[in-house]
Structure 1
Amino acid sequence: MNRPISLMLVEDNPEYRAVIRLALKRDGGIELVDEFGTAEIALRTVQDAPLVNRPDILLLDLRLPGMSGLDALPYFKKVVPDAKIIILTQSDQEADVLRAISLGADGYLLKASTVTAIKEGIRTVIEGGAPLDPGVAKFLLKSLQSRLPKVASEKLLSVRELEILSLLGEGMLKKEIAERLGISYPTVDSHVRHIYEKLKVRNAPSAITTAHRLGIFPPDD
Structure 2
Amino acid sequence: MSKEITNKIKVLIVDDHSVVRKGLKLFLAANDRLEVCAEAATLKEAVSMSAQWKPDVVLLDYKLPDGDGIIGCINIKTQSPKTKVIMLTAYTDDGVVVEAIRAGVDAYLLKDIESNKLIETIISVYEGENVIDTSATEDIFNHLRIDTKKNRGDHNLSNQETKILQMIALGMINKEIALEIGVSENTVRNYISRMFKKINVSNRTEAASYWLRNKFE
Deviation readout 1:161-185 (Å, 9 max, x if unpaired): 33432443353445x4697532538
1:193-212 equivalences under 5 Å are 193-212=193-212
Alignment match, 2:157: 157
Structure 1 residue 103 corresponds to structure 2 residue 103: yes
Alignment match, 1:132: 132
Identity of aligned residues (%): 25
The code of the aligned residue for 2:100 comes to A
Structure 2, unpaired ranges of 5+: none
1:9/1:62 CA distance change after superposition, 3 Å: same
The code of the aligned residue for 2:11 comes to L
Tell me the TM-score normalized by structure 1.
Answer: 0.79
Deviation readout 1:37-75 (Å, 9 max, x if unpaired): 11112212322x3xxx52221111111111321222211
Offset at residue 128 of structure 1 (A): 3.4
Measure the CA separation in 2 of the matches of 1:127 and 1:170. Answer: 21
Deviation readout 1:140-177 (Å, 9 max, x if unpaired): 443211xx332342232234433432443353445x46
1:162/1:129 CA distance change after superposition, 3 Å: farther
Structure 1 residue 23 corresponds to structure 2 residue 23: no
Tell me the TM-score normalized by structure 2.
Answer: 0.81
Asked if the contact 1:124–1:173 (Cα under 8 Å) also holds between the matched residues in 2, the reply is: no
1:124/1:169 CA distance change after superposition, 3 Å: farther
The code of the aligned residue for 2:94 comes to E
Asked if the contact 2:94–2:137 (Cα under 8 Å) also holds between the matched residues in 1, the reply is: no
Structure 1, unpaired ranges of 5+: 217-221
1:164/1:123 CA distance change after superposition, 3 Å: farther
1:40-59 equivalences under 5 Å are 40-47=44-51, 49=52, 54-59=54-59
